[in-house]
Chains A and B, each alone.
Chain A
């Protein structure tokens, strides 16, 4: 047998149709697997976003659905509106205050839940529950809690003597109390996610580092403020950014709880855009209001990506 002959036999053994191995190529498999997600994003996020930006430069209404470009007129109208300005301010206040509450409370909760105790699993489950409930249902429960006549909170306050027995706070009927209620419900809703993220972050701090601090003579508070919290900072950042995005864009809580009232005092950008654009039919104005959220959200998104990137490196 000649050498060439042998070579041919070997070549024959590894023969197989190249098409069968097409999916072994990452250059092909990758895009293929990404395709559904990309289609989904383009159709349900990209397209509406483009339409909203387009609409915001027109005076389109539900009654007259024609794209008639009016330049920046729609924006000018929106800005002149006092309710819009109040909504903008409310959105900022709501987002910042609720997230401050979430940061403090979730840190406390996470530290409490880290300790081993009987029923820890159940406690964690209960705390996560608000996150798993649809926002609308959770908010409806709060609607009952804050009811003007039958609020159990009022009853408790009456029992402990903070208000007159049988008295009422009218949580959703007074401007400041209504805003405070919206903030509280938003914080309640975001707390579970932040707590779970922080718990995960805590378990990523090596035990040896905590022990080293203990041996180095640090008391509990010093360990907390000089070692654990600084090490948790990046993951706290992630939790906060998620919270910011969810709170900033949410309209459900306001819609269900106050409907923006009393007298539009609790309107936020998302709810005002909805009332203006969908309920009021001024599609152009609604779109313009919504577009105001865009730069802020783009900023948050960039921050999230940066944080994720940094977490990956270290």
Chain B
């Protein structure tokens, strides 16, 4: 186990900075998720930690040692790729054995390790098969087993769930979390899927344009976004944002509720919501409309859990409200989080 650290890490391709001065430090045995849209630099960052990409500038440290000049194989890391990158001409057993053979581990020891890893991931019955005979989920487990037998200091996972179908993905997510808990190895996990990030990460680093926008627990990221990018990237549907008194006001769709539902004591801020459309999604209702007091054309979304049974009619004006504590404020210029301020002249 080891701590991974990056210091003002930069990587440029031509004039384009894929990673633009990133400082990160994991905890021992932490599950850190790098979250961001495609092209935000998260995979480049991971590849620099792995040693597959040379930083233009800055340092990568693993276990408090600068590893910039070490090749991947000397860094004691294991990586699981998006495509799993299993060796198609080798059996599952030979795939898992490959890192051990490369390190010159003797046959008995190899056998022991393979059996241990295969048992841990429940793939003993697949050892004789070839990758192309396996399903997506099985391939992923083989890739994990191959990563595991090296007993790495750090696991690097690059969108390992994106090739699985939705149902399998939920299951595999749970398995991944459970697996990391059991081996307790520091893990860095790259994804563009916020559900994965929220579900797996001890902490999440949200990346955009090669920079860390915010790093914190899933709770922090969701409830106290550092800027408007995080506020709108995390959460589905995204946070509603409005210009108001030289700043931006935001609230999450699930916090915009029928007035009766919001407790009066919380200092509720009422809005007249012009409802355009109601979408029924089983566990939720999405209410789409506008709040003319805030903006005449910007649409807002309210998400009502099925426990809120108040009738909401389309093409009508309904009284909605947000608890004051659930309002977030951002600087209009920079988009950075700012101090809460009273909202005047609304509702009634």
Contact = CB atoms under 8 A, between A and B. Distances in A.
Contacts of A233: 89
B82 interface: yes
Interface in A292-314: 314
Interface string A221-258: 01000110011010000000000000000000000000
Interface in B85-109: 85-89, 98-99, 102-103
B81 A212 contact: yes
A214 interface: yes
B181 interface: no
Contact of B146 (A216, A222, A227): A216
Contact of A218 (B51, B52, B73): B73
7 contacts: A211-B72, A214-B71, A215-B73, A215-B77, A215-B79, A218-B73, A230-B89
B159 to A, nearest CB: 11
A218 B87 contact: no
B72 A214 contact: yes
Secondary structure at the A interface, as helix, strand, loop or mixed, is helix
Interface in B182-219: none
B106 to A, nearest CB: 15
Contacts of B338: none
A233 B78 CA distance: 28
A217 B85 contact: no
A214 B72 CA distance: 6
Given A206-B83, A211-B81, A212-B81, A217 B103 contact: yes
Given A227-B87, A314-B132, A216 B98 contact: yes
Nearest to B103: A217
A217 B132 contact: no
Interface of A: 206, 208-209, 211-219, 222, 226-227, 230-231, 233, 314
B87 A215 contact: no
A208 B81 CA distance: 7
A204 to B, nearest CB: 11
Given A231-B89, A314-B88, A215 B83 contact: no
B88 A217 contact: no
Contact of A217 (B52, B89, B150): B150
A226 B101 CA distance: 11
B97 to A, nearest CB: 10
B88 A213 contact: no
A201 to B, nearest CB: 13
A216 B102 contact: yes
Interface string B98-140: 1100110000000000000000000000000000100000000
A34 to B, nearest CB: 33
Contacts of A226: 98
B72 A215 contact: yes
A217 B73 contact: yes
A230 B91 CA distance: 13
